Structure 1
């Protein structure tokens, strides 16, 4: 191989690798909305809004919007959780915790698995 071509190719590969390193964060995590299945230790949230009810499960570290739904019950499974409510408060709930809000459910704007 021609030495000039080799150096040019090496420079292109190096530049591509450097640009990927700068654009991909080191701790990239993405919370996932997953199918609720028995026997799994997912974060599970029972909620309601506008006459509708929902049961949602989440896995993996990260933060996602929750749309201002009223939360009736949370089971954290093997996840540490912070929920951010409409009042601007953040509340941490440790893993292996189940909590119900029968009288005053929080209105949650987003959730974060730690």
Structure 2
């Protein structure tokens, strides 16, 4: 009887130890959440000027992550203090480093997604 109790206690201790170890070193995937934010001229946000179906838009983003951009045509990008990847409708991916301003006056890309690295 005593050995059964010891085995149960050992098994419970092993389960507890495994759970504690998983909690400490468990999934370490990145939890990024890109945010659409109000454009602040003093902040170094990613800022994108774009147009689609007769509408113009200026949008700012903060924090790392990837989001859908809806196939808008991009006229200008200011990366601020962000490294950026944009995904265009042709399947191309372009990386732009922080502190860059790019304009596309004659041939704007149609962007499907953006990613702050």
Q: Same fold (TM over 0.5)?
A: yes
The residue aligned with 1:86 is 89
Q: Deviation above 6 Å: which 4+ runs of structure 1? A: none
Specify the SS of the correspondent of 1:46: strand
1:110 is the counterpart of 2:117: no
Structure 2 length-normalised TM: 0.79
Which segments of 5 or more consecutive residues in structure 2 lack a partner in the other structure? Answer: 1-11
1:3-58 superposed Cα distances (whole Å, 9 cap, x missing partner): xxxxx8xx68x759947x44x73x21111110001110000000000011100000
Aligned length: 109
Larger Rg: 2
Measured in 1, the distance between the counterparts of 2:89 and 2:75 equals 15
Structure 1 length-normalised TM: 0.81
Measured in 1, the distance between the counterparts of 2:51 and 2:85 equals 19
Distance 1:17 1:64, change over 3 A: farther
Specify the SS of the correspondent of 2:71: strand
1:64-83 superposed Cα distances (whole Å, 9 cap, x missing partner): 00000000000000000010
Superposed displacement of residue 106, structure 1: 0.1
User: What's the Cα RMSD here?
Assistant: 2.4
